[in-house]
Amino acid sequence: MSSGEPRSRRAGTARRELVENELLEHATRLFAERGFAGTSLQDIADALGITRPALYYYVSSKDELLARLVTEVTNGPRDELAALGARTDLDAVARLRGVVEIIVGRRVAQPERFRLLIRSEAELPAELTEAYAASRRDVLASIADVIEDGVRAGRFRPVDARVAALGVLGMCNWVAWWFHPGGRDSAGAVVAQLSDMAVGALARPDGQTLEGEGPAAAVKMLRQDLDHLERVLDIS
């Protein structure tokens, strides 16, 4: 194999990825403007500036396009959150910040694709609907696990982890409706502020944390809280 072949192959792969990403961008825009049923493959080919036969080199049908969009929007965050949850070098606070960075990072990068997914739920084939529902459950469970770990470690208040996870997820997803790339708010600033808000909403109000883990550490913290309450009562 000559040294030029790998470079040529890499260049071909890079070009294909570039065209496919542009294809998804045009499809997203047209589906949003005209609806899935009102958009034809010819419309997408025209927007891309290629012939319809050439389009078949990249995609076989509208259903395949929609499936790609759904898979990208749903599986990407799910896989990243699963990897984050498996890390043992991060405490619950750092992992919660990571959760926000992952989800908000994707929403600010491609808000149109997420909005399209939400608006197209009724048009999704049964298999895509189930895949999307399963992915949402996995994402919610990943966030709830992080919060539950924080509660057990004494870093977060004793909240209902699922309800708190729904709140964090809703805050992150809503970014897709109000964030505008190139607008007054930078993506980094939005991620940083929402990360602070998520942690601030769950952190113990006194900033106190467990010294260790397990029942003994929790009892020690409870005794400290009772001592503080007694002092307050004595002053009163």
Tens-place pLDDT, residues 4-57:
556 656 656 777 788 888 888 888 888 888 888 888 899 999 998 999 998 888
pTM of the complete model: 0.73
CB 151 within 8 A of CB 158: yes
Is it the case that residue 130 has pLDDT exceeding 60? yes
Q: What is the spatial distance between Cα 151 and Cα 58, in angstroms, rounded to a whole number?
A: 48
* H or E stretch at 7: helix 4-34
Q: What is the mean pLDDT of residues 142-158?
A: 90
Instruction: Give the tens place of pLDDT for each residue, 76-96.
Output: 888 899 999 888 899 999 999
3-class SS of residue 65 = helix
pLDDT of residue 96: 96
CB 28 within 8 A of CB 113: yes
Distance between alpha carbon 150 and the CA centroid of its chain, in Å?
A: 20
User: Rounded to 5 degrees, what are φ and ψ at 171?
Assistant: -60, -45
Q: In 49-82, which positions are buried (b, 16+ CB within 10 angstroms) versus exposed (e)?
A: eeeeeebeebbeebeebbbebbebbbeebbebbe
3-class SS of residue 225 = helix
